[in-house]
Amino acid sequence: NAGVMQNPRHLVRRRGQEARLRCSPVKGHSHVYWYRQLPEEGLKFMVYLQKENIIDESGMPKERFSAEFPKEGPSILRIQQVVRGDSAAYFCASSPDRTNTEAFFGQGTRLTVV
């Protein structure tokens, strides 16, 4: 995990609150990917971003979820009005190019909705 930093590591939110998950990619990487992992399931693609652009958000629910990767600062995955079903581990990966061949993963943010 050469340098992908995610915070917080653990996040507890009550139903209806907002959750903000942050991801700082490896220095020099301009491609960021977000994945969600439910218990006993594989990681599922959510969204692919480059600096200031959303390239593919086909894996992200259209309601309540949004993502950004601004010119400066970390990538943010935002979940509004969280529900219990949003409880999962959210992983961010970064790579130097779109092929994701040299992707490095962060340690994840474990979101618990109570």
Shorter beta-carbon distance to other proteins: residue 76 or 103:
103
* Of residues 26, 113, 42, the one with CA closest to residue 75: 26
Tell me: does residue 61 bind other proteins (CB under 8 A).
Answer: no
* Of residues 91, 96, 77, the one with CA closest to residue 26: 96
Contact of 65 with 49, CB cutoff 8 Å: no
Tell me: does residue 85 bind other proteins (CB under 8 A).
Answer: no
Name residue, tokens 């599922």.
44
Shorter beta-carbon distance to other proteins: residue 17 or 107:
107
Shorter beta-carbon distance to other proteins: residue 19 or 93:
93
Count of residues binding other proteins (CB under 8 A)? Answer: 28
CB neighbour list of residue 101: distance below 8 Å, 6 or more residues apart: 95
State the residues that interact with other proteins by CB under 8 A. Answer: 1, 4, 6, 31, 33, 35, 40-45, 48, 55-56, 59, 91, 93, 95, 98-101, 103, 105-108
